Chain A
Amino acid sequence: MRSTRLLVFIAVAAVAAVFLFPLYVAVLMALKSAKQTFDSFYALPPSLDLANFVHAWDTSKYPTAFLNSVIITVLSVLLILIISALSGYAIARGNKPLYNFFFLLFLSGMMVPFQVTMLPLYQLGKSLDMLNNYWGIVVIYGGFGVQSGVLFFTGFVRGISREIEEAARIDGCSTPGIFVRIVMPLLKPVTATVLVLNALYIWNDFLLPLLYLQSKDFRTIPLQQYFFFGQYSSDLNLAFAYAVMGLIPIIVFFLFMQRFIIKGIAAGAIKG
């Protein structure tokens, strides 16, 4: 029994190594010059040389892209959370055919392929001055995220007993009062789910920024990366340095928030 466990452990460790290998190559590339990579692909660099990072930093407006990603992700997620919690609560507690209709509407919206709405969205954005600023893309992300958000919140609220709310109502609490004081504190687990799923999606999204944020001043990290890879398509070491720079924030975030993220995903699965 012990020896099987050891064997399994070794096998899993090997798979884990394979999982990390592509990232290792990326870091290795980022630390070497083109000549060094050319001379020997897997050799470690003779000394720690951050020249690629410095060059990538200087030419790429990385801090701007980072800031854009943070602002857009935070604002969008906040918008999604507030709006979906409100709508989800209304649908769960209203419990009328009308509300069920909206529930189905949100559900079917999730099946609309992005390709259908892409061109119209672009035209809409263009005609409403939503391109190349924060609010335009945040509104669209809000509309996207609210679909699954409402489903999660509705499902969760339906699982909460109404008794406390009814009691509060008898005490003279209004609906908004009940929502803020009683319901909101109960929504923590599902809030975590919606937050995590949307934050990861928005942080890494590429298509909508490609449509909405082509101006250099508003590009997010994935978009900036895409353009950077194109520009330095012949200087791979530089491109990898930029890739690693793009990886750092999300990995750091993940490592610090791991428990929260995992809890959020797990909670969503059980309730959804």
Chain B
Amino acid sequence: MEVLKKTIRREMWYVLFLVPGVLLFTFAVILPFVTGIRYSFTNWDGISRKLTYIGWDNYVNALQDADLWTVLGNTFKYAIILTLLVNLVALLFALLLDSYLPLRNLFRTIFFLPSVISVILAGFIWSYNYSQGFPRLLAHLGMDVTSPLGNPDRALYGLIIIAVWQGIGAPMIIYIAGLQGIPAELSESARIDGAGPLRVFRNVTLPLLAPSVTINMLLVLTGSLKVFDLVLVTTNGGPGFATEVISTFIYKNAFSSFKAGYGMALSMIFFVILVIVTVVQVTIFRKREVEM
């Protein structure tokens, strides 16, 4: 009897501990999310007082909207290239800065520095450097360059460069931490067995780094699928829609074009895509980690 009472009291405390978090989360996320879902079934324009329920019309229209597929294409192209590039560069820097180079703490600071700058600032500074700074500097070297942001074939890559500049800080730190968790004896003994540095990396370091790879891939991919501010402040989707991504597309539909209901439906589709991507990714990496 006494034990039961104690257990109940303990459980009561746990529930009490959980309540504020759940309340806050419900208030800031679930409640708006449910409201958003409801709007996605209406033709609400975002301003007027009347809204009519139109069933699945928004969803049907969205799936038939050629622009949606274009912007999804842009979004995934951006996200996949960025994820690979950030991880590659971050891993390379981590390997070099883990123990190899002198002044490594200074370099670490420099490579991490852009991550603490707001996207607004980064976008502003880079747009200007792209259109004025770099062309003028390279003109001294006799090179004739133009801003990548002004060319539909290169604009997305222009954005990716900014995002790499801003994005390698945290993954680099995570990789360094991962590397430091690898016992030195392991790679040492592999080297004694006659393995070259590349083979040591492939057979010893990389498999042991798998958890870091997983978390970095996951963080960068989900983050870059949601890219918004960067596009908004640098290209606003142009030129010729070449950098229009899903979140700016939703934003423009919901706010600039007075189609809040449609915008909500688009973002629900986006939500489903994000869930699928995350689930798929987690499953793949879990499997591989086990295999390794």
Assess whether B116 is in contact with A109, with CB atoms less than 8 Å apart. no
Assess whether A113 is in contact with B270, with CB atoms less than 8 Å apart. yes
Known: A16-B107, A142-B28. A111 touches B165 (CB 8 A): no
Assess whether B29 is in contact with A112, with CB atoms less than 8 Å apart. yes
- A115 cross-chain contacts in B, Cβ below 8 A: 228, 247, 250-251, 254, 263, 266-267, 270
Assess whether B24 is in contact with A142, with CB atoms less than 8 Å apart. yes
Assess whether B28 is in contact with A269, with CB atoms less than 8 Å apart. no
Q: Does B101 contact A (CB under 8 A)?
A: yes
Assess whether A86 is in contact with B20, with CB atoms less than 8 Å apart. yes
A-B contact pairs, 29 of them (CB 8 A): A12-B93, A12-B96, A21-B133, A23-B113, A23-B125, A26-B125, A90-B17, A94-B18, A111-B274, A112-B271, A113-B270, A115-B247, A120-B35, A120-B39, A139-B24, A179-B17, A200-B115, A206-B119, A207-B229, A222-B118, A225-B121, A226-B120, A250-B118, A254-B112, A266-B173, A266-B174, A269-B173, A270-B178, A272-B215
Where chain A touches its partner, the secondary structure class is: helix
Please, how many angstroms separate the alpha-carbon atoms of A147 and B173 in the complex? 23
Q: Which residues of B contact A (CB under 8 A)?
A: 9-11, 13-15, 17-18, 20-22, 24-33, 35-37, 39, 46, 93, 96-97, 100-103, 107-121, 124-126, 128-129, 132-133, 136-137, 165, 170, 173-174, 176-178, 181, 211-212, 215-216, 222, 226, 228-229, 233, 247, 250-251, 254, 260, 263-264, 266-268, 270-271, 274-275, 278
Please, how many angstroms separate the alpha-carbon atoms of A121 and B11 in the complex? 33
Minimum CB–CB distance for A12 against chain B, Å:
6
Q: Which 3 A-B pairs have the closest CB atoms?
A: A143-B28, A87-B21, A266-B177
Size of the chain A interface, CB-CB below 8 angstroms: 88
Known: A25-B133, A86-B18, A119-B260. A113 touches B274 (CB 8 A): yes
- B26 cross-chain contacts in A, Cβ below 8 A: 143
Assess whether B275 is in contact with A206, with CB atoms less than 8 Å apart. no
CB proximity to B under 8 Å, residues A128-179: 139-140, 142-144, 146-147, 150, 174-176, 179
Residue of B nearest to A24 (CB): B133
Assess whether A109 is in contact with B129, with CB atoms less than 8 Å apart. no
Where chain B touches its partner, the secondary structure class is: helix
Please, how many angstroms separate the alpha-carbon atoms of A204 and B226 in the complex? 16
Q: Does A116 contact B (CB under 8 A)?
A: yes
Please, how many angstroms separate the alpha-carbon atoms of A49 and B46 in the complex? 48
Assess whether B120 is in contact with A86, with CB atoms less than 8 Å apart. no
Find B119's partner among A94, A204, A240 (CB 8 Å cutoff): A204
Q: Does A246 contact B (CB under 8 A)?
A: yes
- A91 cross-chain contacts in B, Cβ below 8 A: 18
Minimum CB–CB distance for A263 against chain B, Å:
9
Residue of B nearest to A246 (CB): B121
Assess whether B132 is in contact with A20, with CB atoms less than 8 Å apart. no
Assess whether A94 is in contact with B11, with CB atoms less than 8 Å apart. yes
Q: Mark A192-216, 1 if CB is under 8 A from B, else 0.
A: 0000000010011111000000000
